Amino acid sequence: MPEGDIVLRVARRMDAALAGQRLVRGELRWGRLGDTDLAGAVVLGNHPVGKHLLTRLDDGRTLHTHLRMDGSWWITRAGEERGADRAHRVRAVLGTERWTCIGRLLGMVDLVRTRDEHLVVGHLGPDLLADDVDLEECGERVRAQGDRPIGAVLLDQTVVAGIGTLYLAESLWAHRVHPLRPAREVTEPVCATARHLMLRSADSPLPTATGETGPGRGKHVHGRRGRPCRRCGTPIAELQVGPPGKERPGFYCPHCQPA
């Protein structure tokens, strides 16, 4: 699932195409919103909140979208869509006279009054990539989870928002913290590290959790089960983290991150 760095990259690209511009196309192909036409509204900006994206309009409404596992926003010059805007996987089309943004396989689509954005993102914890995020508060929120495993806590978007399995693995590896350590015992600044890694990735030409962009160099541990740890050479291990029925893979080095 795309994490905070990817959503920030998407917001920046969509701002470059849409911000300050009037929509000539505003189609939502999502359930009861199928008859909605956003054409005529001016896009004020695209605001990421954790893994969610808020596209604010000058008519007092906000389009809320979430990429989930397979979603994406594809941007092309207006008139060069070549049928991509009519594909059955398209959930939203936002277009100006110059650019067309096509939302494919979006996992969530809502249209709310801007003053009611809390209805769709109010349940989230602090956004780790927000300019004004209080990292000390984030650390306190994490430790307040008590005996819950730190891996499960970092994936809980109601505690802090933006981290998925990639930055869970990379942030804990950076501090040599095992994914099953009780959250109350984690004094290392894992939230600050996750923010640093995600911002660096968002600012890089290509997404990268390590700062490197060469083949196979973008991750230290995530998705590398059985391959040597890039710090000590021990084969990377995998376990499941999260509540029953919602477990997600967690990768770690058994030597660098002892239980």
Token pair belonging to 200:
């660096």
Catalytic residue among 13, 181, 248, 254: 248
3-state per-residue secondary structure call for 161-198: ECCCHHHHHHHHHHCCCCCCCEHHHCCCCHHHHHHHHH
> Is residue 117 flagged as an active site residue?
no
> Is residue 248 flagged as an active site residue?
yes
> Is residue 140 flagged as an active site residue?
no
> Is residue 219 flagged as an active site residue?
no
Token pair belonging to 250:
């967690």
Catalytic residue among 2, 48, 126, 179: 2
Catalytic residue among 9, 25, 51, 61: 51
Catalytic residue among 3, 81, 117, 170: 3
Region for residue 18 given its phi and psi (left: phi exceeds 0; alpha: psi -120 to 50; beta: otherwise): alpha
User: What residues are labeled active site?
Assistant: 2-3, 51, 248
